C-alpha cells in the first residue's frame, strides 16, 4: 500500500531528499519556514481534502517554543510525526541484522581479521616466499599447509557462529504479526503501522500502546531488554486504534524515558514511557493494539545493543611479546650465519632463506593449541557437578581465572539473597519487631483485646500500615494454581506488601486507576514511580470517604527535607543500618479538593512539555505542591539475608591472596554491618571510615592514617572516593590497593566501572567483578573476568558476564580450582609448543653451521609437517589434563593460588629456561648425530635425529606429568604408534635398513640420555632441595 502523507510529512520528505538526510527527524526551522510559505494550503488524500498544514505546524511549533528556554534555543531539536494507521517507509525497515558477514564479505573480512595477528602474517609471508625461485627451499605445501589448516579451523568457527546468528535473525524477521488487519512479517513492519500483539508474543518494534482488548491496562516482561524479571504496567493512550497523530521525540538509548504527545480531535495528551511497548519485550497480558514509532536500528533494543569488546587475556599478550623476542632471535641468527661465511654475493637472499628455515621457532599452531585448550577448560567448567547451572559465555579467557588479584563484588543479591523480609517498624519512640508484630496486627484489625498502646499510637499504627499498603507499585496476579503472586520492580516493595497483608490489609486488586485493599477501593489520582535519582516514590489516592492523601516513602537522606525535624529518626536509621536492615521513611500529606485540583492543572501542563526538561518541570511541580510540610509516619527496616556459605567463601578468597572489595549503593552503616556479618572484615580488624570529604587537606590526612595501618579495612562513600580520585589519584590508589578489604558505599554504576579501570591501569592487576543487577553490568564488562550471579534482579548481569553462576559461593571453586588448573596447564602447554618449535630450529641452525653455513633445509615435506601435528600434538596437548594437586587440597590450602599467581607460570624466567633447554637439546641431538653417524648418508642422519626429536618430546612431556590418567597415557602410546607405523612410508627421507641395525638404537639411546639427563636431574634436585608447595603436598 502506498503510504499516505500529509502536508507536513511531504515537506519533511522533500527536506530530507534535498539535504541528503537519512534520519527522518523534522528540525523546527523547516516547519517554521514551511508555515510561512504554505499558510492555509491543503493536500489531497484520496477522495477527501484535509487542511492539516497550518494547524499541525502551529501545534508542533508551539510545543517546541514552550521548551525553547530550557533547550538554550536549540532549533535543531527534532521530532517525528506519525499518523496512526499510515505506514511511512522513510524511517527504514524493521529487519533485524546481527550477522557479521554476508556471502561476499565473509572471506575478505575473516582473512583481514586473521592476518592482523603477528603469527599468521609472518607465516603468510614465509609461504609466499616459496613462490620466489631464489628463496625456494622445499615444497610449497610444507609451509602453506599448516597455515591453511589454522585458517580453516578459524574460518569454520566464524562461519558456524555467523550462521547461528543468521538463523536467529531469520526467525525474528519472519515472525508473523497482524498489521493493519493483514498478516505481515516482522521485517516488513513500518512506522505508523497498527500492530496486534497477542499474549506471550514478542513486540517486534518500538510502539505506543493504543488499545487493550481486556481492561484498561497491559503488562509486559522486559527481562530481555533491561534484565529485570518483574512485570511492567503499561497504559493505553486511547480507546481506539484507527485515528490520531503521534508526535515522538527522536530515538534515544534510554529505555526509561520517552517524550511524545497524542492528538485526537484537537485534544492533545502527553505520552510517557508508561504508554510504550519497546521492541523485544513480551506481552504478559491479553492482546493489545499498538502503533509503531521506531523500527530497526532506531529501536531502544538496537540502540542499546553495543557490541562488547572482545577480551584478550594477559597470557596471550605475554605470548605475543615473547613471539616478538623469538622473531628477533630468528633475525639475529639469520644475519650471524649469513656473514659468518663472509660477505657473499646476494647476501640478502641468504638472510631470507635462513629466515624461512628458522620459521619453526615461531610455532604457527600455538594459537590453535591454546584455543582448543581453552575450549576444553571451558567445557570442563560447565560439566562440573559442583557448579550447577554455570554458563561460560566467553571461552577465550579461562586462564585469567587463575590470575585474579582483586575481586570487586556487589552486595545486594550477590553477597545477600535479595529475599526481603520486613523485620522492624519504628513509630517515634515505639518500635515493633518479631513477636510484637502481633500488636500491630491487633491495631490494624481493631481487636477488642487489650492493647498496651495509647489511642494516638494506635491511630498512628493504622495510618502507617495503610500508607505502606497503598504507597507502592505492586500488582497482584493469579498464578495457574490459583495462588496470588506479587509483581514489582523491587523486592523491597513485595516484602512490605506481603507484610501488610499479614497484618490484615490485603492487596486484592490493582489497575491504573484504583487499588483495592480488602474490600475498600482507593482511587489512584497520581503515581510517582521510584527512580534511582530521586530515591523515593509517591502516590496520591482518594479514599472511599473522599479524603485525598499524598503518601511518600524513600531513603532517609532525601525524606528529611520534606518532613518536620524529628529527634528520633537519625538515631533509629543508624540503629537499623547497624543491624544490616534497609530503611525506608514513610510520610503523608492530606490535601483538600482545591489543593489537589490546583496541583493537577499545573502538573498536566508540565507533563505535555515536549523537551528534555519535562521531567524537571514535573518534579518541580510535585516539590512545590506536594513534597513539603509532610507528616512523618514511621520507619521500616527490611532484612536481606546473606547468601549460603558467604563467610566461608570470603575466608577462602582472603587466604588465597585475593583482595576482596565490596561496591554497593547502600548507606555507610548498612555496608559496614554487612561487611562485618559476612566476615569480609576479619575479627578485630580496624575499620577506618571516610565520608563526606570536601577538602584536599582532609583527604591527605585520611590517606596518611591508612598508610600507617596497612591491615585496616576502609569504608568510603562514593562522593569521597570521587574527590580522592579527582585530586589525589595516585596517592589514593597506592594507599588502598594493599588493604585486605575496601568497602565503597553510595556507589553508582559508573563509579564501579571507573574504579575497576583504575585498578587495572594503576596496579596492572587482573580484576574480577561479580554482581547480579543491571547496575553491575558496567564493571562486569570492563573487568578482566566478569561474573554474573543469576538473581532476583534479572539476567542482565548474567548475560553480560563472561561466566554466569548460581550463587556467590561458587566463585571460590571457579577461581581456586578451575582458574588455577586452567592458568597452570595452559601456560605449560604454551611453553611446550614453543619448546617444540625451538628445538627443531636449533637442529636446523647446527646443520647449517656444519654444512659450511649454507641455508639448506634439514627437514622437509612430511617430516616438517608431521613433527608438530600427528607425531607430537597429542602428547603435548594432553598436558591440559594434568593435575598437580587434588580438589580437596586446593580448598584446604588456598594459599596455593597465591603462590602460583606470584610465581607466574608463564614468566621471563620460565621462558628463558625453555629457550636454554631447547638450545641444549637441539645442539646435543644434532652434534652427536653428526659425530656418530655423520651427514654423508642423509637417510641415516635424518632417521636418527628426527626419531630422537620425536622421542625427546614424548619423554619431556612424561617428565612434566604429575598425575597420569587414561587420556595422557593413550596420547603418548598413540603418538609413538603413529610414528612407528609411518616409518615404512617415509622412504623418501629415511634409510629403512638403518632402522634394522643395532647402531640406530644405541646412538639414539645415547643421544636421548645425554639430552634428557640434565633436565631430569635439575627437576629432581629442585624437588629435593627447594620443592614447591604443591610438590610438598603431593608427598
Q: Which residues are annotated as a binding site for Mg(2+)?
A: 410, 412, 772, 776
Name the strand (E) or helix (H) holding 269: strand 267-271
Chain centroid to Cα 77, Å, comes to 33
Give catalytic residues, as residue numbers: 410
Q: Annotated binding site for ATP: which residue ranges?
A: 410-412, 493, 530, 553, 582, 664-666, 746, 752, 775-776
- Distance between CA atoms of 756 and 785, rounded to whole angstroms? 11
- Select from 66, 23, 427, 79 the least CA-distant residue to 250: 79
- Select from 772, 774, 750 the least CA-distant residue to 226: 774
C-alpha separations of 876 from 145, 360, 829, 830, 951 in Å: 21, 16, 7, 9, 12
Say if strands 78-83 and 245-249 run parallel, antiparallel, or are unpaired.
antiparallel
Q: Which residues, 6+ apart, have CB-to-CB distance to 712 below 8 Å?
A: 685, 686, 687, 688, 706, 739
Strand order through the sheet with 218-221: 231-234, 218-221, 282-283
* Beta-ladder partners of 625: none
- Distance between CA atoms of 1006 and 1026, rounded to whole angstroms? 30
Phi, psi of 580 (to 5 degrees): 80, 20
Strand order through the sheet with 391-392: 391-392, 803-805, 785-789, 766-771, 404-409, 659-663, 741-745, 713-717, 687-690
Yes or no: say if 948 and 1011 are a contact pair by the CB < 8 Å rule.
yes
Yes or no: say if 811 and 832 are a contact pair by the CB < 8 Å rule.
no
**590 DSSP 8-state letter:** E
Q: 777-793 as b/e, with b when 16 or more CB fall inside 10 Å?
A: bbbbbbbbbbbbbbbbb
Yes or no: say if 877 and 374 are a contact pair by the CB < 8 Å rule.
no
Name the strand (E) or helix (H) holding 817: none
C-alpha separations of 285 from 193, 200, 232, 274, 832 in Å: 21, 8, 11, 15, 60
* Beta-ladder partners of 541: 524, 549
- Distance between CA atoms of 582 and 420, rounded to whole angstroms? 9
Q: Which residues, 6+ apart, have CB-to-CB distance to 667 below 8 Å?
A: 555, 557, 577, 745, 746
- Distance between CA atoms of 451 and 861, rounded to whole angstroms? 97
- Distance between CA atoms of 100 and 960, rounded to whole angstroms? 42
* Dihedral (CA of 762, 765, 770, 776) sign: positive
Yes or no: say if 359 and 330 are a contact pair by the CB < 8 Å rule.
yes
Residue 6, classed as helix, strand or coil, is: coil
DSSP 335-376: HHHHHHT-S-TTHHHHHHHHHHHTGGGS-TTHHHHHHHHHHH
Amino acid at each position: 500500500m502506498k503510504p499516505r502523507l500529509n502536508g507536513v510529512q511531504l515537506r519533511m520528505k522533500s527536506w530530507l531528499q534535498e539535504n541528503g538526510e537519512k534520519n527522518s527527524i523534522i528540525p523546527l526551522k523547516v516547519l517554521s519556514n514551511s508555515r510561512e510559505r504554505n499558510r492555509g494550503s491543503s493536500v489531497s488524500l484520496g477522495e477527501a481534502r484535509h487542511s492539516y498544514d497550518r494547524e499541525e505546524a502551529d501545534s508542533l511549533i508551539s510545543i517546541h517554543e514552550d521548551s525553547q528556554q530550557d533547550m538554550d534555543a536549540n532549533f535543531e531539536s527534532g521530532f517525528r510525526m506519525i499518523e496512526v494507521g499510515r505506514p511511512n517507509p522513510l524511517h527504514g525497515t524493521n529487519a533485524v541484522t546481527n550477522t557479521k558477514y554476508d556471502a561476499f564479505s565473509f572471506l575478505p573480512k575473516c582473512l583481514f581479521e586473521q592476518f592482523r595477528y603477528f603469527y599468521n602474517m609472518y607465516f603468510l609471508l614465509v609461504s609466499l616466499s616459496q613462490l620466489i625461485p631464489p628463496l625456494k627451499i622445499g615444497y610449497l605445501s610444507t609451509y602453506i599447509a599448516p597455515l591453511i589448516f589454522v585458517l580453516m579451523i578459524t574460518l569454520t568457527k566464524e562461519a558456524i557462529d555467523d550462521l547461528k546468528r543468521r538463523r536467529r535473525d531469520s526467525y525474528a524477521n519472519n515472525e508473523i504479526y497482524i498489521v493493519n488487519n493483514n498478516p505481515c512479517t516482522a521485517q516488513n513492519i513500518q512506522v505508523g503501522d497498527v500492530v496486534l500483539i497477542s499474549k506471550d508474543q514478542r513486540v517486534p518494534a518500538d510502539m505506543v500502546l493504543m488499545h487493550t482488548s481486556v481492561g484498561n491496562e497491559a503488562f509486559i516482561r522486559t527481562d530481555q531488554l533491561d534484565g529485570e524479571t518483574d512485570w511492567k504496567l503499561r497504559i493505553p493512550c486511547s480507546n481506539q486504534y484507527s485515528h490520531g497523530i503521534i508526535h515522538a521525540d527522536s530515538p534515544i538509548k534510554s529505555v526509561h524515558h520517552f517524550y511524545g504527545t497524542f492528538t485526537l480531535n484537537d485534544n492533545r495528551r502527553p505520552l510517557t514511557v508508561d504508554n510504550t511497548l519497546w521492541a523485544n519485550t513480551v506481552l504478559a497480558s491479553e492482546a493489545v493494539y499498538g502503533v509503531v514509532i521506531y523500527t530497526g536500528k532506531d529501536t531502544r533494543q538496537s540502540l542499546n545493543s553495543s557490541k562488547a569488546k572482545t577480551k584478550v587475556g594477559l597470557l596471550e599478550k605475554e605470548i605475543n611479546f615473547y613471539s616478538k623476542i623469538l622473531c628477533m632471535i630468528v633475525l639475529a641468527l639469520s644475519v650471524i650465519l649469513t656473514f659468518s661465511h663472509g660477505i657473499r654475493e646476494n647476501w640478502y637472499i641468504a638472510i631470507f632463506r635462513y629466515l624461512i628455515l628458522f620459521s619453526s621457532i615461531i610455532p604457527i599452531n600455538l594459537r590453535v593449541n591454546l584455543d582448543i585448550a581453552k575450549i576444553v577448560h571451558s567445557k570442563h567448567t560447565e560439566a562440573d557437578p559442583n557448579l550447577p547451572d554455570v554458563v561460560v559465555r566467553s571461552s577465550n579467557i579461562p586462564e585469567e581465572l587463575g590470575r585474579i588479584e582483586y575481586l570487586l563484588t556487589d552486595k545486594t543479591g550477590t553477597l545477600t539473597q535479595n529475599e526481603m523480609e520486613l523485620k522492624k517498624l519504628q513509630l517515634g519512640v515505639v518500635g515493633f519487631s518479631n513477636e510484637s508484630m502481633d500488636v500491630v496486627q491487633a491495631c490494624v484489625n481493631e481487636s477488642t483485646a487489650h492493647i498496651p498502646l495509647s489511642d494516638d499510637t494506635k491511630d498512628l499504627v493504622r495510618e502507617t500500615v495503610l500508607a505502606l499498603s497503598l504507597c507502592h507499585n505492586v500488582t497482584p496476579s493469579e498464578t495457574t494454581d490459583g495462588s496470588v503472586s506479587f509483581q514489582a520492580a523491587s523486592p523491597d516493595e513485595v516484602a512490605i506488601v506481603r507484610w501488610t497483608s499479614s497484618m490484615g490489609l490485603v492487596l486484592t486488586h490493582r489497575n491504573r486507576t484504583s487499588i483495592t485493599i480488602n474490600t475498600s477501593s482507593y482511587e489512584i489520582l497520581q503515581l510517582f514511580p521510584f527512580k534511582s535519582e530521586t530515591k523515593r516514590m509517591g502516590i496520591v489516592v482518594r479514599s472511599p470517604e473522599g479524603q485525598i492523601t499524598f503518601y511518600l516513602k524513600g531513603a532517609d537522606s532525601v525524606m528529611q527535607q520534606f518532613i518536620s525535624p524529628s529527634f528520633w529518626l537519625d538515631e533509629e536509621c543508624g540503629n537499623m543500618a547497624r543491624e544490616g536492615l534497609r530503611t525506608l521513611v514513610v510520610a503523608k500529606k492530606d490535601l483538600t479538593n482545591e489543593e489537589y485540583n490546583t496541583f493537577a492543572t499545573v502538573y498536566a501542563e508540565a507533563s505535555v512539555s515536549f523537551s528534555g526538561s519535562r521531567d524537571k518541570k514535573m518534579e518541580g511541580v510535585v516539590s512545590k505542591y506536594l513534597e513539603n510540610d509532610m507528616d512523618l509516619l514511621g520507619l521500616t527496616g527490611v532484612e536481606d539475608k546473606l547468601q549460603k556459605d558467604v563467610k566461608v567463601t570470603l575466608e577462602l578468597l582472603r587466604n588465597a591472596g585475593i583482595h576482596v572489595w565490596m561496591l554497593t549503593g547502600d548507606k555507610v552503616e548498612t555496608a559496614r554491618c554487612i561487611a562485618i556479618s559476612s566476615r569480609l572484615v576479619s575479627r578485630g580488624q580496624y575499620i577506618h571510615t571516610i565520608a563526606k570529604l570536601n577538602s584536599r587537606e582532609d583527604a591527605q590526612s585520611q590517606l596518611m592514617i591508612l598508610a600507617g595501618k596497612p591491615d585496616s579495612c576502609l569504608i568510603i562513600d562514593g562522593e569521597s572516593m570521587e574527590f580522592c580520585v579527582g585530586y589525589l589519584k595516585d596517592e589514593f590508589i597506592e594507599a588502598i590497593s594493599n588493604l585486605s578489604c575496601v568497602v565503597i558505599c553510595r556507589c553508582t554504576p559508573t563509579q564501579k566501572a571507573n574504579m575497576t579501570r583504575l585498578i587495572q591501569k594503576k596496579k596492572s592487576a587482573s580484576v574480577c567483578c561479580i554482581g547480579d543487577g543491571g547496575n553491575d553490568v558496567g564493571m562486569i564488562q570492563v573487568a578482566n573476568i566478569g561474573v554474573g550471579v543469576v538473581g532476583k534482579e534479572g539476567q542482565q548481569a548474567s548475560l553480560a558476564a563472561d561466566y554466569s553462576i548460581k550463587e556467590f559461593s561458587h566463585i571460590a571453586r571457579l577461581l581456586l580450582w578451575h582458574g588455577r588448573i586452567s592458568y597452570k596447564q595452559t601456560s605449560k602447554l604454551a611453553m611446550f609448543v614453543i619448546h617444540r618449535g625451538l628445538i627443531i630450529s636449533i637442529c636446523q641452525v647446527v646443520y647449517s653451521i656444519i654444512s659450511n653455513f649454507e641455508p639448506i633445509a634439514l627437514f622437509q615435506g612430511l617430516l616438517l609437517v608431521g613433527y608438530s601435528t600427528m607425531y607430537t600434538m597429542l602428547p603435548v596437548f594432553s598436558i591440559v589434563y594434568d593435575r598437580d594437586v587434588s580438589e580437596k587440597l586446593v580448598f584446604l590450602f588456598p594459599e596455593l593460588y597465591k603462590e602460583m599467581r606470584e610465581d607466574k607460570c608463564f614468566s621471563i624466567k620460565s621462558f628463558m629456561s625453555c629457550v636454554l633447554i631447547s638450545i641444549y637439546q637441539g645442539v646435543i641431538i644434532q652434534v652427536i648425530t653428526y659425530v656418530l653417524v655423520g651427514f654423508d648418508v642423509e637417510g641415516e642422519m635424518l632417521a636418527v635425529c628426527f626419531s630422537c626429536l620425536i622421542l625427546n618430546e614424548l619423554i619431556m612431556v612424561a617428565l612434566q606429568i604429575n598425575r597420569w590418567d587414561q587420556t595422557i597415557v593413550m596420547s603418548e602410546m598413540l603418538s609413538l604408534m603413529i610414528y612407528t607405523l609411518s616409518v615404512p612410508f617415509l622412504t623418501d627421507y629415511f634409510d629403512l635398513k638403518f632402522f634394522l641395525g643395532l647402531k640406530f638404537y644405541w646412538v639414539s639411546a645415547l643421544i636421548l640420555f645425554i639430552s634428557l639427563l640434565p633436565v631430569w636431574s635439575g627437576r629432581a634436585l629442585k624437588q629435593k632441595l627447594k620443592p614447591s608447595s604443591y610438590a610438598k603436598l603431593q608427598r
